[in-house]
């Protein structure tokens, strides 16, 4: 949603009709993941991608047909189809798409706010949300709701019997999951629901405004991360050195991280190479739900660091989360090359790639943490 939102809002503001295509299932080597979106304007303009270029032209034509009919449509593209070579998906993958006109999606509910409005605000506020939409289920086709973590009011509505199941499944995904389709049974009828999980943009917190930190900030922004730089030293922690950063906090890490808040969408990279700055940040990060925590330094430096962190009270389980020496072993030594290795590891960890499954810290450093 985030990557198409600006274009969608601009088109709607110009009074144009818009359709949204979303990947709801994939098989094999599909080039884009479930939940990826492409918006199509009534004049044929498009934003986003559902295949990296393979089927976009075909989807545009289908989306224009959906806008004309005013009804959603399910599409399937794959190498087994006779049309696959024509649309370009010849890499062996298969995808299912849900293409829907945006107009019904924007209809306001009895509460006065449409699920679309709620989703847009959630994206802007960096709040996690699940959009549940009925893909198959008779008169319920196209019904949808926006569900937030417990305690927040949902938007939209679904009938009793289905709503309870949808709410429970959405909460499960919000606790840790990926977009998916599920079958629910209501009064003997099977109803297929797509759960579109939308999480806040990933954030990289860089501890230390050093040269490697500058390169990290540049590369992280290119990859769609929010960037926060923390350094108490005025010469290093300033906006002039980091014009690309979303925030520069000139404060000690323990104070900065306590005010900032660490969550499962946050990665922390300690690169100041100063224990007074790095170690307090690592203690806070390793005790948090941050999905990645890494520290710059040689193997010997990190042996000493781990010993100090253990003395500070961190458990073996907490220390095992530390990625040190930081980054994938790409062999580079220049700041930009080191930053590339760090971002490669962060992306691999976030994606659950096999590349992220390297030795844990206690094995890697042989620090004897048992």
Question: DSSP characters for 321-362?
Answer: TEE-S-S------SHHHHHHHHHHHHHHHHHT-GGG----HH
* Dist CA 189 CA 169 (whole Å): 18
Q: What is the DSSP string of 279-330?
A: HHHHHHHHTS--SEEEE-S-HHHHHHHHHHHHHTT--HHHHTTEE-S-S---
Q: What is the DSSP pairing of strand 129-136 with strand 144-147?
A: antiparallel
pLDDT band at residue 339 using 50, 70 and 90 as cut-offs: very high
pTM listed for this prediction:
0.71
| Predicted local distance difference test score (pLDDT) of residue 18 | 94
- In this structure, are strands 247-249 and 155-156 parallel, antiparallel, or unpaired? unpaired
| Long-range own/partner contacts, residues 111-114 (CB < 8 A, 24 or more apart) | 111/153, 111/155, 113/155, 114/155, 114/156
Q: Note the pLDDT of residue 173.
A: 87
Q: Map out the domains of the chain with their CATH numbers.
A: 5-101 (no CATH), 106-198 (no CATH), 203-365 (3.40.50.720)
What does the pLDDT look like over 107-142, one tens digit per residue?
A: 555 455 666 777 888 888 888 889 899 999 878 888
The predicted structure's pLDDT at residue 107: 55
Q: In this prediction, what percent of the chain has a pLDDT beyond 90?
A: 55
Complete edge-to-edge strand list for the sheet that includes strand 292-295: 247-249, 226-230, 203-207, 266-270, 292-295, 322-323
pLDDT at site 358? 62
- pLDDT tens-digit series, residues 6-47: 899 899 889 999 999 999 998 876 677 899 999 999 999 999
- 298 burial type by CB count under 10 A (0-12 exposed, 13-18 middle, 19+ buried): exposed
What single string gives the DSSP state of each residue in 147-176? E-STTSPPEE---TTTHHHHHHHHHHHHTS
Checking if the pLDDT of 244 tops 50, the result is yes
Distances (CA, A) of 321 to 77, 227, 287, 370: 40, 21, 10, 14
CA pair distance 350, 342, nearest whole angstrom: 12
pLDDT tens digit string along 141-166? 888 888 887 666 777 778 888 989 99
Q: Is 220 exposed, middle or buried (0-12, 13-18, 19+ CB in 10 A)?
A: buried
Task: Grade residue 104 by pLDDT with cuts at 50, 70 and 90.
Answer: low
- Does residue 159 come out as left (phi exceeding 0), alpha (psi in the -120 to 50 range) or beta? beta
Produce one character per residue of 341-368: b if its CB has 16 or more CB atoms within 10 Å, e if not.
bbbbbbbbbbeeeeebeeebbbebbebe
User: Using one digit for the tens of pLDDT, what is the confidence trace for 179-192?
Assistant: 999 999 988 889 99
pLDDT at 369 over 60: no
Q: Give per-residue pLDDT as tens, 300-333.
A: 999 999 999 999 999 999 999 999 999 999 998 8
Q: Which of 147, 153, 156, 159 is nearest to 109 (CA)?
A: 156
Please report which confidence band the pLDDT of residue 338 belongs to, taking 50, 70 and 90 as the band edges.
very high
Q: What is the pLDDT of residues 42-91, one digit of tens each?
A: 999 999 998 867 788 899 999 999 999 999 999 998 754 555 445 555 55
């Amino acid at each position: 949603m985030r990557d198409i939102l600006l274009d969608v809002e601009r088109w709607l503001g110009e009074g144009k009709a818009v359709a949204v295509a979303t990947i709801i299932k994939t098989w094999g080597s599909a080039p884009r993941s479930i939940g990826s979106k492409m918006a199509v304007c009534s004049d044929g303009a498009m934003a986003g991608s559902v295949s990296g270029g393979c089927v976009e032209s075909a989807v545009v034509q289908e989306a224009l047909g959906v806008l004309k009919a005013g009804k959603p449509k399910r599409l399937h593209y794959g190498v087994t189809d006779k049309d696959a070579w024509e649309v370009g998906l010849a890499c062996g993958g298969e995808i299912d798409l849900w293409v829907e006109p945006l107009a019904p999606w924007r209809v306001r509910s009895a509460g006065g706010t449409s699920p679309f409005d709620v989703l847009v605000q959630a994206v802007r506020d960096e709040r996690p949300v699940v959009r549940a939409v009925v893909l198959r289920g008779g008169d319920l086709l196209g019904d949808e709701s926006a569900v937030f973590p417990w305690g927040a009011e949902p938007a939209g509505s679904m009938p009793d019997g289905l709503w309870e199941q949808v709410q429970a499944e959405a909460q499960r995904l919000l606790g840790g999951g990926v977009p998916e389709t599920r079958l629910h049974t209501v009064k003997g009828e099977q109803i297929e629901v797509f759960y579109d999980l939308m999480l806040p943009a990933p954030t990289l917190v860089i501890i230390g405004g050093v040269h490697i930190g500058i390169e990290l900030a540049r590369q992280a922004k290119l990859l769609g991360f929010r960037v926060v730089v923390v350094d108490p030293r005025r010469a290093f922690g300033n906006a002039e050195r980091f014009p690309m950063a979303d925030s520069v906090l000139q404060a000690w890490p323990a104070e900065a991280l306590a005010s900032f808040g660490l969550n499962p969408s946050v990665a922390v990279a300690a690169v100041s190479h100063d224990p007074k700055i790095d170690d307090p940040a690592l203690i806070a990060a390793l005790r948090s739900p941050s999905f990645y925590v890494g520290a710059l330094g040689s193997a010997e430096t990190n042996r000493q660091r781990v010993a100090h962190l253990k003395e500070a009270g961190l458990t073996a389980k907490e220390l095992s989360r530390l990625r040190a020496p930081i980054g994938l072993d790409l062999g580079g030594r220049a700041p930009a090359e080191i930053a590339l290795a760090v971002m490669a590891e962060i992306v691999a960890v976030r994606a659950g790639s096999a590349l992220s499954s390297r030795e844990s810290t206690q094995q890697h450093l042989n620090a004897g943490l048992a």
